[in-house]
Structure 1
C-alpha cells in the first residue's frame, strides 16, 4: 500500500514538473505565430499610426508577423471588450487610450472592466490637446477666451469628438476649474467637430496635435492654448493653459495617452517580453522621429506604472463626469 502511495505521488510530481516545463518552453518559444494588435479606432488616426509603426518594428525584432486589426465601435469599447474575452496567450492585444479610463464612469452597461479583464503591458506615447477657436472669434489667447465665456455664460459652443471622448471631458474639466459654462455639441469624430468650428457653427474645439496642426498652420483655426504642462516644440509660441494666469487653472495638465494591453491572465513572462520589446522599439530613432512629428512622442512605461496610470485616470475622470453630469447610455 505504501509503495502504491509513493508511486502515485511520484507520478503526480512528474506530471506537475512536466506541465511546468512545457508551459515554460511554450513561453520561451513565444511568439510562434502572428500577433494581432486590435486598434478600436478608424484607420489613419493617431492611434492607428502608432500601432502600425510599432507593429512593423516589433515584427522585425521578434521575427514574427504582427498584424493591426481595426475593430471600430462604441468609442473604442467593442475592440477592448473583444480582446478582454480573448485567450490570454499573448497573441491578441489591444491598443487603449485615455478614453478607456473615462468609459467606466460614462457607460452604465460596460461589458468589461479595464482593471480586471485586461492586463497592462506598456504605455506607448502621450501628448497634449490644442485649444482652438474660430479665427473670427475676437480672442487672441486662452485668458481672453475664458473672459468671453464668463461674460457670455451659455453662449459659446464647443465641439467635441463625441460624448465621453477625451476632448469632451477635457473641455468639461476646463469649464469646471475656470468657473465657466460653454455648451457642448458632440460629433461623430474629431474631423466633423473641427469642420463645424471652421464653419462657425461652434466656436471652440480641442483636438490632438496630429489632426489639429494642419488646421492651425493653414489659418483655418486659431490655437489659444495647449493642455500639457510644457509647450510643444511643434508650436512653441502657443502657451500652456497653466501659463494663462486664469484662477483655478494653475498647474493644469491634461495629456492624452495610449498603451498596449492583453487579456487578463496572460503569463507574466509574455507581458515582460512584450514590454521589453516595446521599450526597444520606442527608442528607435525613426520611431521617435515619426511620433515627435505627430506631437505624440514616445513615452514608454513599465506594466505596473501603466496600470497605476489607468487607475489614477479612472478616478480623475470619474470626478469630472460627476461634476459635468455627462452620461452615455
Structure 2
C-alpha cells in the first residue's frame, strides 16, 4: 500500500508530463470579480478543457489590484501547469503603472495562448445628456474632470483603453477603479458613475435592456454584435483603435512541453462549433495562436501600453 501511495504521489507531482501533472483537479484563476468578461471566458475554457482532458477544473475568482493579486497567486503557485490564469492587458502589458509589485509578470508568468480579442464600448448612464460621441466630447470639455468613469481596476483593459481615449480625444475624465467590471457596471446603472469603456460582452446585455446608452465601439471596425453603432474613430476621435484581449497563462517555471500540450488542448477546444458560437454571441473574436506568437503579441502590446502609461502619466503607488 505504501509503495502504491509513493508512486501515485510521484505521478501527481511530476511536472514534465501534462497528463500526469494534471491528473485530478486543476484550477483556473480569474483575477476579477464574477460576472465580467474575463470571468465568463474563463468559465467557458475551464468547462471545455475539463471535458477534453477528463480533469475537474475549479474556477476561482481572486480580484484586486487590476488582476495582479490573482496573477501573483499563479506566479507563486505550482509550476506543473495545474493552475491556469485568465490573463489580461493589465497583467501582461500594463503592469508598469504600479511602482512595485510582489512579482514580475514578464518573468513569473508565461502566456499559453491569446484566447480572444473583444472590442470595448463607450457607455454612459441615461442621465448623461449626450446622444453620440461628439456630444459627449463637448460635454467632457465643458466640464473637465466632472465625469467619472469606472473600470475593472487599475491597469485593466477597461482602464487603459479609457486612458487612450482620454489622450486621443484630449478630454479630462476621472477614473474610479473597482475590483471587476460587474461592481463597476452596477454603479453605472445606479448612476453613481457616469460612464465606462467596457468590454462589449459584459456591456451588451445592459445596452440591449436600455439601462445604459452606447455611444461607440473602440475597435477599428464596427462590431457585428452592434452593427449600427459607429466606431469611436469614425464618430469623432480619428485614429483611435483599441481592443481588449485575454490570455490563458501559467507560472513562468512551467516546462515548455507542458505549456505546448496546454496550448494544443486549448486551441483544440477553440475550434469546437459550440465554443465558437458562444464566443460569437459574446462579441469575442477567437485567436488561439501558438505559444511563440502569443509571447510576441504580448511583447508588442507591452510596448504600446507602456507608451500610453508614460504619456498619460498613469502611476499607482
Pairing of 1:309-324 with structure 2 (within 5 A): 309-324=297-312
Pairing of 1:24-39 with structure 2 (within 5 A): 26=17, 29=20, 31-39=22-30
**Structure number, greater radius of gyration:** 1
User: Once the two structures are superposed, what CA deviation does each residue of 1:65-93 show, in whole Å capped at 9, x if it has no partner?
Assistant: 33323333332212211221223222222
Structure 1 equivalent of residue 7 of structure 2: none
Q: Given the alignment of the two structures, is residue 327 of structure 1 paired with residue 315 of structure 2, yes or no? A: yes
Q: CA deviation at 1:217?
A: 1.5
**Secondary structure, aligned partner of 2:203:** helix
Q: CA deviation at 1:290?
A: 1.3
User: Once the two structures are superposed, what CA deviation does each residue of 1:236-294 show, in whole Å capped at 9, x if it has no partner?
Assistant: 11111122243xx32x2211111111222322221111111111101111111112112
Does the CA contact (< 8 Å) of 2:15 and 2:80 recur in 1? Answer: no
Structure 2 equivalent of residue 54 of structure 1: 45
Does the CA contact (< 8 Å) of 1:41 and 1:48 recur in 2? Answer: yes
Separation (CA, whole Å) in 1 of partners of 2:109 and 2:299: 12
Question: Per the alignment, do residues 271 and 101 of structure 1 end up closer, same or farther by CA in structure 2, a change over 3 Å counting?
Answer: closer
Aligned CA-pair RMSD: 2.4
Question: Per the alignment, do residues 185 and 77 of structure 1 end up closer, same or farther by CA in structure 2, a change over 3 Å counting?
Answer: closer
Structure 1 equivalent of residue 221 of structure 2: 230
**Secondary structure, aligned partner of 1:115:** helix
- Normalised by the length of structure 2, the TM-score is 0.86
Does the CA contact (< 8 Å) of 2:110 and 2:250 recur in 1? Answer: yes
Structure 2 equivalent of residue 72 of structure 1: 63
Does the CA contact (< 8 Å) of 1:115 and 1:311 recur in 2? Answer: no
Q: Given the alignment of the two structures, is residue 180 of structure 1 paired with residue 171 of structure 2, yes or no? A: yes
**Secondary structure, aligned partner of 1:41:** coil
Structure 2 equivalent of residue 108 of structure 1: 99
Equivalent residue for 1:132, pick from 123, 131, 143:
123
Separation (CA, whole Å) in 2 of partners of 1:162 and 1:87: 26
Structure 2 equivalent of residue 254 of structure 1: 242
Q: CA deviation at 1:199?
A: 4.4
Count of residue pairs brought into register by the alignment: 304
Unaligned segments of structure 1, at least 5 residues:
1-22
- Greater Cα shift, 319-328 or 115-124: 319-328
- Normalised by the length of structure 1, the TM-score is 0.83
Separation (CA, whole Å) in 2 of partners of 1:60 and 1:288: 16
**Secondary structure, aligned partner of 1:87:** coil
Q: CA deviation at 1:312?
A: 2.1
Question: Per the alignment, do residues 227 and 65 of structure 1 end up closer, same or farther by CA in structure 2, a change over 3 Å counting?
Answer: same
